[in-house]
Amino acid sequence: MGRRRTALTALVVVGAFGLGAATGVVVGRDDDAAPAAPPTSAPSVTAPPPAAPSPTADVPRRPRNVVLIVGDGTGDSEITAARAYAYGAGGRLPGIDAIDRTASVTTWSRLPGSGLPDLVPDSAATATGWATGVRTYDGAIGVDLDGKARPSLLELAQADGLRSGIVTTARVQDATPAAQLAHVARRECRGPEATTQQCPDDALENGGAGSITEQILTRRADVVLGGGDGHLDERATAGAWKGATLRERAKDEGFRLPTDTDGLAALVPASSPVLGLFADADLATRWSGPPSTRTGGADEPVRCTPNDALPDTQPTLRDMTTAALRLLDDPAAPEGFFLQVEGASIDKSAHGADPCAQIGETVDLDEAVRAVLDFARDDGSTLVVLTADHGQAGQIIEAGTTTPGLTRSLLTADDAVLTLSYGTSPAEVKQRHTGVQVPLAATGPGAEGLVGVLDQTEIFTILRDALELDGP
């Protein structure tokens, strides 16, 4: 079906979210409600403000833009821990909990060769699922079980004349953003050297499309923001840019390359693409605290602190999201935009059994969700959908106890003890994902189709049809 020319907008947010009935109401929140730093004392816990009137009677039935926000590894336990820690047991996350049309998403991948179900998927397979509508094997980036490239939502949007963007707190070559931007056999093939060694069929010298970084440059999405600057210093092994660094290629091809908050804030809408990389690899997390240990749950509960290693020049997820919306939104343009936003280090912190980093990154995600909801409310025609890619290891257990795994007790905003346990791997190695369904929440035009129990690949179909994109 052809892309129709209208003035409608859709916003999709991915994570484990929403507390209310399936009514599609966006609840108004005070922008000052979320803590910019970990709480250092126990504020009083108040009930959330009353819900704003439902916008569904006045919003268009079809969206103009889609913003897909992904909370990586952000299931019910992660959301509950962040809510309880930052706002108390009776509090609410101002962004995440403001969306109350809810659903559940089944998430699994396939085993290479046999194609049998793998009930504990990784971020590459799950992101490829909603990006392309195809269920594939763990590690696959934008390809099916046979290694065939499948077009992503971002690519279909570009082909139909929409502007496009990616925002992440990981390196932009990481699995979740890469599934919209590239097609390689393995997620590790971020630069030319790794691609030659691990994805030879994808390497430029063998006639392939190149590494993830090279494909990002070829794809020329309008806005790509995150980490991964170190990969621009790698050199091309073939093609017109053989021997040159990928940074040299990006500059010569007209990319704007901001590297800090000032550079990001100075950007203005223009025809040249933006590739903003604010760390060599992943962005630093906002909060820190003692790691989980074998007996940490029984230790004196602590409060999280700001991360001293966080550079002053690094933008937050909200900063990057707001900038992307500002750069992509053009009410006078005949077409809208597609934007995917990811809070990546919720998952990465859970892998490391680091509860303070995990909770801080969830609050960081919540602030970005609020920015998107503000945009959607002002725009008046935006679909918002919030989901996660897979489950993670952290579980809330009885306060002050330990388990055979790793535990840590924290002191929440209302002085309660919050004990988290990580027990999906031996203590000496990183914690693993869990095989659970994940939540989804939605509001705006098209949200009425995002209810019940959905397969993760259906997200692709629903968003493709909402934007009336041509494609499979």
What is the block-wise mean pLDDT of the chain (472 residues), using blocks of 10 residues?
A: 45 48 36 54 41 44 91 97 98 94 96 97 99 99 98 98 97 99 99 98 98 99 99 98 98 99 96 98 98 95 98 98 96 90 98 98 98 94 91 95 94 98 92 96 90 96 94 83
Q: Does the annotation mark 409 as catalytic?
A: no
Predicted pLDDT of residue 228: 99
With beta carbons less than 8 A apart as the criterion, state whether 16 and 81 touch.
Answer: no
* pLDDT score of 48: 44
Q: Which of 77, 109, 123, 381 is catalytic?
A: 123
CA 149, 166, 160, 370 torsion: positive or negative? positive
Using one digit for the tens of pLDDT, what is the confidence trace for 406-449? 999 999 999 999 999 999 999 888 999 999 999 999 988 999 88
Q: Cβ contacts of residue 427 below 8 Å, gap of 6+? A: 293, 294, 405, 406
Cα Rg of the chain, angstroms: 21
Name the one residue in this structure whose structure tokens are 């109401």: 25
Quick check: 204 and 189 in contact, CB under 8 A? no
| Amino acid identity at 60 | P
Burial of 54 (0-12, 13-18, 19+ CB in 10 A): middle
**How many CB atoms within 10 Å of residue 470?**
12
Walk across the sheet containing 223-227 and list its strands.
Answer: 274-277, 223-227, 163-171, 337-343
Task: Please give the pLDDT value at position 186.
Answer: 99
Enumerate domains of the chain plus CATH numbers. Answer: 59-466 (3.40.720.10)
Cβ atoms of residues 321 and 368 within 8 Å:
yes
- pLDDT for 38 equals 67
Residue 331: what pLDDT? 81
* pLDDT at 44 (0 to 100): 38
